[in-house]
């Protein structure tokens, strides 16, 4: 374990300046893929519970929070089995220049997302925002949806997809394949074909931010800001539909 700790500390030295260095974490790429399999099994189990008639009121309230928490279970099981400390997921400090890098990448990322959504509308396909409108219409109170989307989701998803998956893939395949692979799984995990490309693009941005910082905190901040802005904008427009030009 001490050797692994030394390797991890070496990997945290200015990753952007020496791309040929190796990155090591105390779990293997096999453990990483096992985490993906466990997430799939847990997700299928939750979908089965929903289709079997789980209480609708529960799903509208604290149930959405529980759905997000399943991202932590695969890590918890693997880390308990391997006796790995949670600190290896990347809860360290980061520098402010990483925030600047992330902001610049998000501008480019959103240009791609806007073009993608415009293309969907051109073909008469509803974008992700339209589906969130429908969710708000069905909710008696959006409070749990906001808490989950703006607070819980950014934390647990960054820990799983960047702290666990990206690091596990990076040590085996290199940082660039790990960015694309973890982001593809991130997009697929949202179970929405319409949002696959936007989620993949955002996943690439967040994974690269993690690569430059080796910390989950910048990604959590960006993720929380993105989700908060999106949810607030959609909620306001759902309550005041006249704001949308006809």
* Span 27-82, pLDDT tens digits: 999 999 999 999 999 888 877 766 665 555 555 555 667 778 899 999 999 999 99
Domain count, the chain: 1
pTM: 0.84
Looking at residue 137, its pLDDT comes to 61
Q: Could you read off the pLDDT of 152-171 as tens digits, one per residue?
A: 999 999 999 999 999 999 99
Looking at residue 7, its pLDDT comes to 46
Res. 237: pLDDT tops 50: yes
In Å, how far are 159, 160, 169, 185, 189 from 38, measured between CA atoms?
Answer: 15, 12, 16, 13, 12
169: containing domain: 2-243
Between 85 and 118, the higher pLDDT residue: 85
Res. 198: pLDDT tops 80: yes
Looking at residue 234, its pLDDT comes to 75
Between 235 and 1, the higher pLDDT residue: 235
Q: Could you read off the pLDDT of 212-232 as tens digits, one per residue?
A: 999 999 999 999 999 999 888
């Amino acid at each position: 374990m001490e050797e692994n700790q030394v390797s991890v500390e070496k990997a945290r030295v200015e990753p952007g300046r020496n791309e040929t260095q190796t990155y090591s974490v105390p779990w293997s790429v096999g453990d990483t893929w096992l985490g993906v399999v466990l997430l799939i099994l847990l997700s299928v189990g939750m979908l089965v519970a929903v289709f079997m008639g789980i209480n609708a009121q529960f799903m509208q309230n604290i149930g959405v929070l529980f759905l997000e928490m399943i991202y932590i279970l695969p890590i918890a099981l693997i880390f308990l089995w391997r006796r790995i400390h949670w600190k290896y997921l990347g809860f360290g400090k980061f520098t402010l220049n990483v925030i600047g890098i992330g902001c610049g990448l998000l501008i480019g990322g959103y240009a791609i997302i806007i073009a993608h959504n415009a293309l969907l509308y051109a073909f008469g396909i509803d974008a992700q925002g339209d589906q969130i409108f429908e969710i708000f219409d069905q909710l008696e109170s959006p409070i749990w949806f906001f808490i989950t989307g703006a607070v819980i989701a950014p934390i647990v998803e960054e820990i799983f997809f960047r702290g666990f998956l990206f690091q596990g893939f990076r040590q085996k395949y290199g940082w660039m394949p790990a960015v694309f692979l973890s982001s593809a799984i991130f997009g697929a995990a949202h179970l929405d074909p319409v949002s696959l490309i936007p989620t993949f693009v955002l996943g690439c941005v967040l994974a690269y931010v993690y690569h430059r910082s080796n910390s989950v905190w910048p990604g959590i901040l960006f993720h929380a800001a993105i989700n908060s802005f999106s949810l607030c904008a959609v909620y306001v427009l759902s309550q005041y539909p006249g704001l949308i030009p006809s």
